Structure 1
Amino acid sequence: MTSRDLVLVSLFAAIIVALGLLPPIPLAFVPVPVTAQTLGVMLAGLIIGKNRGSAAVLLVFLLVAIGLPVLSGGRGGLAVFAGPTVGFLIGWLPAVYVTGALAERFANAKTATKQFMGFFAAAIIGGVIVAYAFGIAWLAFGVGMGLPGATVASLGFIPGDLIKAGLAAMAARAVMLGYPLLPRKA
C-alpha cells in the first residue's frame, strides 16, 4: 500500500466515523436503528474501490474493537459484536467490497448517465442487498426473530438506503469528474 492509499483509507474510515455522529433513529419494530454510517460504507466502495474501501471498514472495526465510541449513538467495544446490530455491522465488509468491485467496472462508462446508473446499482447491490443479507440473517437466527419477521422488519430501512445510494452515486460521479480515485477495470 502506498502513502496515498493509507491516507485514503484513513480518510474514508474518518468519514464513516463522522457519519456516526448523527444520532441513530430507532425503529419500533426492529432492534436495529437507522444510521448514516451505511452512507459512508457506500461512499468508500464507490470512490476508493474494493480494496481500499475494505481496508477503511476494517480500520473502523479495529477502532470499535478497542473500545472507541465510533459507531452511531456513541457505541464501541467488543460488546457491539454480540448485539442485535452485529449482522449489519459485519455486513459492511462484504458490502463495501461488492460495491467497490462493481463501481470499478462502471468507472469507464461512456456516458455520465451510464456511470451514474452503474454507481447507483453498485451501491444498491453492495450497500443494500449484501448488507441486508448479513443483517437479516443475524436478526433471524442470532436474535431469534425468524427469517420472515426479520425480512419484513428490515423493509423499513429500504427508503432511506435508496436515498443514501443515490447520494453516494452522485458524490462518486462528482469525484470521478474532478479527481478520480477509483481503480478502473477493463
Structure 2
Amino acid sequence: MTTHPAEQQTPAPDVPRRRRSRGGIPAQSIALIGVFAALIAVLAFAPPIPVGSFGVPITLQTMGVALAGLVLGPWRGLAAAGLYVALGLLGLPIFAGFAGGFGVLAGPSAGYLLAFPIAALVSGLIARAVVRRAARRWWMPLLFLAAITGSILATHPAGILGLSLNLQIGVREALMMDIVFWPGDVVKSLTAAAAAALVHRAAPWVLVRR
C-alpha cells in the first residue's frame, strides 16, 4: 500500500544545539565561569590600597565579583566567584597580597571573601531582570544598582561580621571600619556596570538565552 504524499512526514530541520559537557552544563558556560574566576584573581593582583591598621586593604576583587554577576547572571556568577574563593582557600596565592590557604579565614578579610559568591548571585539576579525587561538606555544605571545592592546585602554585612569576630571588636566599631570602603565600592560598581552594559549591548545572548 502506498502512502499519500500529504501523509508523508517531512524531516525536521536540524536545530543547532549548544555543546554540552558530560555533566550536561553547556561548555560555553564552563568556559565563562573559568574566565571570570581568573579575572577576579587578576584584579586581586592589582596593588592594594592600605586602609587604617586593621589589615583589610582596598582591592579590585569586588569589581571582578560584580562583573561576574552582572555579565554571567546569578548562577554562573555565583559559580565563578565561588570557584575563585575555593581555589584560594585550597592554597593558590590568588587573594589580595598573594595570600592563599585556609589561614585567611582567621584574618580580618574573611567575611568579605566568603561573601563574594552571594554578592555575585544577588547582582546577577537583578542584572538578568534588567537585561530582559528594561530599555537599553536604562541598563547602566540599573546595573549599577544591581552591583551596589550585592555589596549592601552580602559583602558589607559579612565583612562587618568577620571584622567583629576575628578582631574581637564590637559590631559598631567594625561598622565604622567598614565605612571607609563605601566610596571605593561606588566607583567600582559604576565601572562594572559600564563594562557590563557594553557587553550586553554587543552580545545580549551571554546573559539572556532565546
TM-score by length of 2: 0.83
**Does structure 1 residue 182 correspond to structure 2 residue 184?**
no
- Give the equivalent residue in structure 1 for 2:80: 56
Q: Single out whichever of 57-66 and 116-125 deviates more from structure 2.
A: 57-66
Secondary structure of the corresponding residue to residue 55 of structure 2? strand
- Give the equivalent residue in structure 2 for 1:26: 50
Deviation, 1:54, is 0.8
**Does structure 1 residue 130 correspond to structure 2 residue 130?**
no
Higher RCO structure (Cα 8 Å, ≥6 apart): 1
Please say which structure displays the higher CA radius of gyration.
2
1:147 counterpart (165, 171, 177): 171
Long gaps (5+) in structure 2: 1-24
- Aligned 8 A contact 1:128 1:161 in 2: no
Deviation, 1:104, is 0.8
- What is the aligned length? 184
Deviation, 1:55, is 0.8
Deviation, 1:111, is 2.5
Deviation, 1:128, is 4.1
What root-mean-square deviation, in Å, do the aligned CA atoms of Structure 1 and Structure 2 show? 1.4
Tell me the distance in 2 between the aligned counterparts of 1:165 and 1:147: 25
Tell me the distance in 2 between the aligned counterparts of 1:50 and 1:110: 17
Q: Single out whichever of 6-15 and 107-116 deviates more from structure 2.
A: 107-116
Q: Single out whichever of 42-51 and 77-86 deviates more from structure 2.
A: 77-86
Long gaps (5+) in structure 1: none
TM-score by length of 1: 0.93
1:45 counterpart (69, 74, 77): 69
- Aligned 8 A contact 1:29 1:153 in 2: no
1:35-80 alpha-carbon deviations (Å, 9 max, x no partner): 1010000000000011111111121122112211101110011111
Q: Percent identity?
A: 36
